[in-house]
A = this chain, B = another copy of it.
Amino acid sequence: MTDTSKTTNSAGTDDGGRHRGEEHPAPADARASGARVSRRGVLGAVGAGAVGGLVVGAGGGIGAYAATRPAAPTPLTHLGSDAVAFHGTHQAGISTPMQAVGHLVAFDLAPGAGRAEAIALLRRWTACAAPMTEGRPAPGHDTDVALDEGPSALTVTFGFGRSFFDRTGLVKQRPVQLDPLPAFSSDHLDPARSDGDLWIQVGSDDALVAFHALRALQKEAGSTARVRWLMSGFNRSPGATAHPMTMRNLMGQVDGTGNPKPSEPRFGEEIFVPAKPHGTLASPAWMAGGSYAVVRRIRMLLDDWESMPVGKQEKVIGRRKSDGAPLTGGTEDTAMALTKKGPDGELVIPADAHARIAQPSANGGAAMLRRSYSYNDGLRGDGKPDAGLLFVAWQADPLKGFVPVQRKLDRGDALSAFIRHEASGLFAVPAGAAKGEYVGQRLMES
């Protein structure tokens, strides 16, 4: 890797210039999140009236987290030099900007591997991931695949599945939040592609950098853990659009509009476990600063979806396809006029519209930060596209985030007819590791 890459901690309020590799102090929100976000994200967010790397709005969308993209044509000096700090209060890859390429991979501990082996693995993984996020080789025998490149916004995020605690004798430390998700009527789950002892999310704006990191992490697993499942996805490339835009999913829908924004006072408590968890169903103390990731592989029935006129698609979602604005008017950020009726006396945003049902106010304020990747695995045996969304939702408590929303959607969402939940995972993602610590140390040594 080149030495041109720098781990930056950048912010600014200039005209949207996309200067990488410059040193700037992080804004308060970014520092509070512990994830030193790149200037790219911060600037885009500032442009959208927020700080911390999120484009925000109000309303539905089944998944993609709205990472900011710079307002082009502004200079993008060197995509590869964009760096996201590995160490911090929170792990990177949660409130840091969405990347163009993502891999989700789950591991199971090998037979015979217990707590000691898991500790050694977490040490190796930490030692492997941290330098790569700075554009440096993985220790040991680096494959050289990313030799010429900067970090390209690489993030590596580690989590623990429910079964991990049994395997390592840590059941007493297991959060109640990892209790199995309820079964939903629309589930068509494949157990082989669900769950897992350990989970890693790799994201980067460059596919070679992402492959390089994935391969290095897999090799560090050695004989301690085996890959249970691996899913790969993508998002729009930085600079592919002229405006900072919320992401689109493969249905063509603006997706991620309703995400909580770091500038909101409740963002921290909605997404991250508080510093001192309290209450009967509170997370254990080792999860302070952590978050819970719900992962769902959601196949889209694109043939069915695309056979409908855009007007009908918009009724299913409750938002305009062109710009994500509510059918009741305004822009993407405008609140839905939920009681507004059309000349026909019907609700303009139908009762079963996805955006209506998914909105936090319809779910006891349930908030989650959706940060998803699209996937395209070619064609199925029946000739239909095996494509959709690798939905990743982050929250301080899935029982207050994903679960109530999905329960509601399961009963009455018009979108359900066009999607299939094919795999599911739920992971406890501990706080970020300080320098000298390994990820998950507070759990493993508790």
Contacts and interface: CB of A to CB of B under 8 A. Distances in A.
Nearest to A245: B148
A1 to B, nearest CB: 9
A408 interface: no
Given A236-B149, A378-B232, A78 B215 contact: no
B208 A240 contact: yes
A214 B214 CA distance: 27
Interface stretch (A26-34, A138-146, A263-271): A138-146
A374 interface: yes
A150 B242 contact: yes
Given A302-B215, A378-B230, A100 B242 contact: no
A75 to B, nearest CB: 4
A163 interface: no
**Counting chain B CB atoms within 10 Å of each CB, which of A79, A242, A302 scores highest?**
A242
A237 B2 contact: no
Contacts of A376: 211, 214, 232
A273 to B, nearest CB: 32
Contacts of A237: 79-80, 100, 152, 205-207, 237
A113 to B, nearest CB: 16
Contacts of A321: 144, 147
Contacts of A79: 72, 76, 237-240
Given A80-B239, A234-B208, A252 B147 contact: yes
A122 to B, nearest CB: 21
**Chain A contact residues: helix, strand, loop or mixed:** loop
Contact of A152 (B240, B302, B383): B240
Contacts of A385: 215
B232 A81 contact: no
A78 B144 CA distance: 29
Given A72-B80, A240-B205, A306-B141, A374 B211 contact: yes
B242 A4 contact: yes
Rank and list the top 3 A-B pairs by shortest CB-CB distance, nearest first.
A144-B252, A79-B239, A207-B234
Given A73-B78, A211-B250, 20 more contacts: A72-B77, A75-B75, A76-B79, A79-B237, A100-B237, A101-B234, A143-B252, A143-B302, A144-B248, A145-B250, A146-B248, A147-B248, A149-B240, A150-B240, A150-B241, A206-B236, A211-B387, A214-B376, A215-B385, A232-B378
